[in-house]
Amino acid sequence: MVRSPSASRSVATYPIRVVKLADHDGLNYHKWPICKPACACGAKLDVPVYRFLKDALVRAYGQEWFDELDNIHTAWVEERSTKIK
């Protein structure tokens, strides 16, 4: 069986699933009960899933892409915390 690049990325980035769309990859978090302990640990340490998977995401999409994702997440968290206050 030959794997597509997206399929092999999906394995390396699990629980983030990679789906090939027309012009780009779609990345979706696959919430699965077996991952609950890891998610609890990540929440306790304040480590989002994408940061836990940084090495795999950088290999797949590059450092510049990851840095942009991190900046977007940081801005979203700041905006969200401002609205909650």
Q: Which domain holds residue 65?
A: 5-84
pTM of the model: 0.77
User: Per the structure, how many domains does the chain have?
Assistant: 1
Helix, coil or strand: residue 4: coil
Instruction: Return per-residue pLDDT of the chain as tens, 85 residues.
Output: 334 455 556 678 888 999 999 999 999 999 889 989 999 999 999 999 999 999 999 999 999 999 999 999 999 999 988 877 6
- What separation in angstroms does the CA of 61 have from each of 2, 19, 48? 21, 14, 18
